[in-house]
Every structure is written in structure tokens, then in C-alpha cells.
Amino acid sequence: MKEIILVKNGELALKGLNRNTFEDILIKNMRKSLSDLGKFEFTKGQSTIMVDPVDDIDLDDAVDRVSRVFGIAALSRACLCEKDFDSIKETTAEYLEEQLEDAKTFKVEAKRADKKFPMKSPEICRELGGYILSKFHHLKVDVHNPDITVTVEIRDNFAFVRGNNIKGAGGMPTGTSGRACVLISGGIDSPVAAYMMAKRGIELCAVHFASPPYTSELAEMKVMELLKKVARYSGVITTYVVPFTKIQEAIRDLCPEEYFTIIMRRVMMMISEKIAEKQNCNALITGESVGQVASQTMYALRCTDCAVNMPVFRPCIGMDKEEIIAVSRKIDTFETSIQPYEDCCTVFTPKHPKTRPQVDDVISAEQKIDNLDELIAEAISQVKKVIIR
């Protein structure tokens, strides 16, 4: 039996004008995500793309990967067969045996692209439905809410049979919306933020601030592990690790304690913006959410925001922690995120941070570091680049 994957385009079906380009990018992304499994051929149909393994490949792994590629509404595995009704009947009973055994109700749908096929769609449905009932005595027909929908499609050179669809990752194909740079910590929120923006078609790069010896090698490895999980959806993430110790020590030594965190966050933004510019990014992404901690009150966010000119995307801004956790479980970053390693945000935290900082006060506090520009330039010159895939 020859099995293929059928992919149903998501939102890109709506994008009349650019549909072709979008589909090409989607195919390129699928090709990349499947590249180390073997060779596949991709054929565009009306609103589906056929993914056809050239070699003898176990499709489980391939389906799993394709189900994480953005821009796909739904996918299904299908079995090819000869374009005659006997072959269609036999293939259905054999290929879908397990699923038909497990179901209580079913219906049949038929699509006939080849109008020369001797049976019309309603006849195929009726005849195949009758055959299924004669083979699986426990089954009942339910045309409104069946446990399994058996779909038969008659195309020009072959027919295929398939069962239920699997939900796709949705969103837009990565790379159709430009590039942005995510500020990634080891926490729960920033990997979720990265995933959410990648889902909108944005290609990611990432910046992580490390403060050895206050933060450990293990904390950095944890961040790389998180990025790997995000990369299963977004594709490659070029990551820049910035040495942040000297800057944090300067903030600690020279600025009023109540502004430590907010100034640190501003400097993170400034450095990230410089790296992002070089990487052709048009926005920064953070995992901030209003009110979550003192550095994320609206007043504090205003102070961080005005440190840069680039737009800052904060997709978690209106979500509460439980909603963010639900996404992190879905993308399998939660268990990694909760491993307890120190982040640079948690060293030198003030006892009483200002929850309503004013921009002017923060800027004058920051100006106590008179060589900040030099420190920033030095940190950027020592950045370590890691390719995450």
C-alpha cells in the first residue's frame, strides 16, 4: 500500500493574490522539516498539497513533523489505489480497518476531480457505505456527526482513500512576514511569545543575556533546549548569547537600587535592537504580560519601550499565567522552563522595585553609568552565535 500525506492550506488559501508564493514557501518549509527523513515529492492541488515519500519511509515521523509546520489547517494520511471501484472498496476495508473497528458511526464522502470516472459521487458514497456496513457489522451511518469520515477522491491518474483529518499547526508559513528578534530567557513566557509570533509567519532570531558566574552554563543550556523546541515549529533560530555581567555590575554599583531591574531591561532592549538591526529584523519580541511582576506594570513597560525605536511585540501581554502555561504545555516547553536555574533577571533584584517608575527618573538613574555606550559596544563585540535547529 502506498501512503501519502495530504496537506490542507490554512489562512493562505485566503491570500488570493500571493497564493502561489505562499504555497512555495510552505513547501520549502515542509521540505526543510522533513529533509533528514528522506526524499519527498510535493504536488500542488486546488487547496491541498500532496506530500509523497519517494523512498520507503515510515510516515509517523513525517506526519508528526508536518503537523508542526505553520500555514497548514489540517492534514491527513491517505492511501493510493487503482481507479476502479473494487480496488477502492478493498483499500478502504484494509487501510482503514483499525479506525473503522474503533468507530461507532461513519459516513462516506466522495470527490470526483476526474469527471470521466463511471460512477458519480453520490453513487460512490452509497455503494461504498453499503460495502462498509456489510464488512463492519457494528457500524452505523451518521451523516451529521460521525466518528469517522471516509473520504474517497478520484483524481486523473489515481484514486485515494483517507480517514479523519488531523489538526494542523495553523497560522502563516514561517518567512512570509519578515524577521523579528526574540529576547529569550529560561522562563515560561518568552518561548511562548516566540512560538506565537512565529505562528504569524515571522522568521525568528534570538538574543539571550547571560551573566556568568551569577548564571550557570546549565541555565544557558536550558535556553538552547527551549529554543530547539520552538524551532520544531519556527525552523532555524540563529541565537546570540550576550555577556551581561559587566553591565549588570555597573547598574548595581552606580544606579539607585529601586531602578535596577527596569534599567537592566532597558539595556537588554538597546542591545537586542542593535543585534536585530544587523539581522534585518523589524521588531523585537518579549514574553512580558501586564502586571505579572514589578518590571511589567504599565509604567515600567512604558520605560522599557522608549529605550528602543523598533516596535516591541508582546504577544502574552493580555494573557494570564494559566493561559500562557497552557500554550507552553502544548508546545512542550513547560517542563524545561520550570527547571530551577538562575536567570540574569533574578540576580541583583531590588527589595523594593518602583512599580510606577517615571521615564525621566529612570533615564537620569541610567545616566549614572557614564560609559554605558562603551559597555554596550563591548558586550556586542563579545556575542556568541549559536545556530539552533
Q: What is the contact surface with ligand ATP in residues (CB under 6 A)?
A: 183-185, 187-190, 207-209, 268, 286-288, 292-293, 295, 343-345
**Whether the Cβ atoms of residue 159 and residue 83 lie closer than 8 Å to each other:** yes
| Rounded to 5°, angle at Cα 8 from 154 and 161 | 30
- Nearest-CB residue to ligand ATP? 187
Q: In the complex with ligand ATP, which residue's Cβ is closer, 258 or 288?
A: 288
Q: State the minimum distance, in angstroms, from the CB of residue 37 to Mg ion.
A: 35
Q: State the minimum distance, in angstroms, from the CB of residue 261 to ligand ATP.
A: 7
Spatial distance between the Cα atoms of 288 and 248, rounded to a whole number of angstroms: 20
The number of beta carbons lying within 10 Å of the beta carbon of residue 134 is 10
The number of beta carbons lying within 10 Å of the beta carbon of residue 83 is 17
Spatial distance between the Cα atoms of 335 and 95, rounded to a whole number of angstroms: 37
Q: State the minimum distance, in angstroms, from the CB of residue 25 to ligand ATP.
A: 27
State the binding string over 174-213 for Mg ion (x if CB under 5 A, else -).
Answer: -----------x-x--------------------------
Q: In the complex with ligand ATP, which residue's Cβ is closer, 160 or 260?
A: 260
Q: Which three cell numbers stand for residue 104?
A: 461507532
The listed partner (Mg ion, ligand ATP, none) that binds 194, CB under 5 to 8 Å by sort, is: none
Q: In the complex with ligand ATP, which residue's Cβ is closer, 34 or 226?
A: 226
The listed partner (ligand ATP, Mg ion, none) that binds 344, CB under 5 to 8 Å by sort, is: ligand ATP
Say what the alpha-carbon torsion angle 165, 166, 172, 175 is, to the nearest 10 degrees. Answer: -120
Integer-rounded Cα radius of gyration of the chain: 26
Q: In the complex with Mg ion, which residue's Cβ is closer, 49 or 247?
A: 247
Q: In the complex with ligand ATP, which residue's Cβ is closer, 88 or 197?
A: 197
The listed partner (ligand ATP, Mg ion, none) that binds 190, CB under 5 to 8 Å by sort, is: ligand ATP
The listed partner (Mg ion, ligand ATP, none) that binds 203, CB under 5 to 8 Å by sort, is: none
Q: Which three cell numbers stand for residue 155?
A: 483524481
The listed partner (Mg ion, ligand ATP, none) that binds 183, CB under 5 to 8 Å by sort, is: ligand ATP
The listed partner (Mg ion, ligand ATP, none) that binds 288, CB under 5 to 8 Å by sort, is: ligand ATP
The number of beta carbons lying within 10 Å of the beta carbon of residue 383 is 15
Q: In the complex with Mg ion, which residue's Cβ is closer, 171 or 187?
A: 187
Q: In the complex with ligand ATP, which residue's Cβ is closer, 99 or 346?
A: 346
The number of beta carbons lying within 10 Å of the beta carbon of residue 330 is 11
- Nearest-CB residue to Mg ion? 187
Q: In the complex with ligand ATP, which residue's Cβ is closer, 152 or 210?
A: 210
Helix then strand then coil, in percent of the chain rounded to 5, is 45, 20, 35
Q: State the minimum distance, in angstroms, from the CB of residue 195 to ligand ATP.
A: 12
Q: State the minimum distance, in angstroms, from the CB of residue 319 to ligand ATP.
A: 11
Spatial distance between the Cα atoms of 132 and 215, rounded to a whole number of angstroms: 63
Q: State the minimum distance, in angstroms, from the CB of residue 278 to ligand ATP.
A: 17
Spatial distance between the Cα atoms of 327 and 363, rounded to a whole number of angstroms: 36
Spatial distance between the Cα atoms of 320 and 323, rounded to a whole number of angstroms: 5
Spatial distance between the Cα atoms of 341 and 362, rounded to a whole number of angstroms: 29
Q: State the minimum distance, in angstroms, from the CB of residue 167 to ligand ATP.
A: 27
Name the pairing type of β-strands 166-170 and 72-81: antiparallel
**Whether the Cβ atoms of residue 151 and residue 129 lie closer than 8 Å to each other:** no
